[in-house]
Amino acid sequence: MFQNTIVRTKVLTGLLLVLVTAIGINTVSMASTLEPAKIKTAINKAYKDYKKLKEGANADYIPALAKVDPNVYGIVLVTTDGKIYSEGDLKTEVSIQSISKVFTMAKVMDESGPDAIYNAMGVDATGQVFNSIVAIEQYQGSEMNAMVNPGAITATSMVKGKSEKEIWNKILNYYSDFAGRKLSVLEDVYKSEAATNQRNQALAMLMYAYGHIKGDALQATDIYTRQCSVGVNTKDLAIMAATLANGGKNPVTGKQVVNSKHVPEVLAVMATAGLYDDAGKWLYRTGLPAKSGVGGGIIAVSPGKFGIAVISPPLDKAGNSVRAQKAIADISNALGGNPYAVKPR
Ligand code: GLN
């Protein structure tokens, strides 16, 4: 009996030791991946490495975007405990453009549940450019996603409200909660895009014709154009990304913005189609759900760890910022941000 107790105590102590060691190792490895000094080094290095890069060109199909200074270059990383690390331009606002699609989709999920998105336009990559008419025709407006224009305009049409004004205010306030400050529209960008968005109107009309948009397709296009013209700086975008990294709760303001239940679906669509038909290449290199905009911004999310954003207007052929892709990939990989990368036990 006495002997037994000793054996049992020894076994228990042994187990406890193993447990404590395991927890200890875990804590050390987590802490070392997101050590402030390591984050700063990674950001500084990526900033310097790509500062002189001259690849890509500003979007010019929206005239106002061609006029944006191509040298604007900022990097911000926000951890899920609300610490902010940055390098370069934090203040210059560019239009959010397609990055807005993530947040409008999240709003629809909050209001109507994730199945509403699944059923209305789908959650699959199109393999086509973001404003492709072929992508609609292929499956009559199904089997696509809310990150390409037809799906995004459809998502905007699903935000509830009695008037255009009420819907718009709801969208703008929602984006502002993600950023943690009151955002507003860059009117010159809005006017420029509204005067030249006939193609988006055509996409919306087709989505209406196939029964995906139920209400006023042109009103939805106008609200969508306005949402794309919201001005954001690199810090705003990084906090928006960090809110998604932190289960939908803004790590700086502490406000729960999107229901944490829906964050996995939001991130899944970003992973599938956030960088359009180059989403696969991006995921292969980084494992990060991300979203780009033709204004030059990209956000990426390392779930549970950090959100990161880079603004740099010159884009590649798929419409994704060249510098932003390179800088985010390097920084995340240096910090162990890839959610698929796990050390074997
Ligand atoms: N407002 C832009 C458009 O509709 C958004 C596209 C983008 O950022 N990829 O064409």
- What would the pLDDT profile of 77-124 be if each residue is shown by its tens digit? 999 999 999 999 999 999 999 999 999 999 999 999 999 999 999 999
CA R_g for the chain: 22
Distance 210 CA to ligand 1 centre (A): 22
Which amino acid is residue 208, in one-letter code?
Answer: Y
| Residue position matching structure tokens 């890839």 | 338
Distance 97 CA to ligand 1 centre (A): 5
Residues 280 and 297: beta-carbon distance below 8 Å: no
Q: Domain residue spans in the chain?
A: 35-335
Percent of the chain scored above 90 by pLDDT? 89
Please check the confidence at residue 311 and state whether its pLDDT lies above 50: yes
| DSSP H or E stretch at residue 302 | strand 297-302
Query: What pLDDT is stored for residue 83 in this prediction?
Result: 98
Instruction: Let me know if 162 is exposed, middle or buried by CB neighbors in 10 A (0-12, 13-18, 19+).
Output: exposed
CB 130 near ligand 1, within 6 Å: yes
Please check the confidence at residue 2 and state whether its pLDDT lies above 70: no
Residues 248 and 256: beta-carbon distance below 8 Å: yes
Residues 83 and 229: beta-carbon distance below 8 Å: no
Please check the confidence at residue 13 and state whether its pLDDT lies above 80: no
Question: What CATH architecture does domain 35-335 belong to?
Answer: 3-Layer(aba) Sandwich (3.40)
Residues 291 and 99: beta-carbon distance below 8 Å: yes
CB 65 near ligand 1, within 6 Å: no
More confident residue, 3 or 272: 272
3-state secondary structure at position 39: helix
CB 97 near ligand 1, within 6 Å: yes
Atom of ligand 1 nearest to the CA of 295: 8
CB 131 near ligand 1, within 6 Å: yes
Atom of ligand 1 nearest to the CA of 152: 4
CB 294 near ligand 1, within 6 Å: yes
Q: What pTM was computed for the model?
A: 0.91
Tokens of 318: 């798929």
As a whole number of angstroms, the distance between CA 169 and CA 146 comes to 20
Distance 89 CA to ligand 1 centre (A): 23
Query: What pLDDT is stored for residue 277 in this prediction?
Result: 87
Q: End-to-end CA distance of the chain: give it in Å, rounded.
A: 36
Please check the confidence at residue 218 and state whether its pLDDT lies above 70: yes
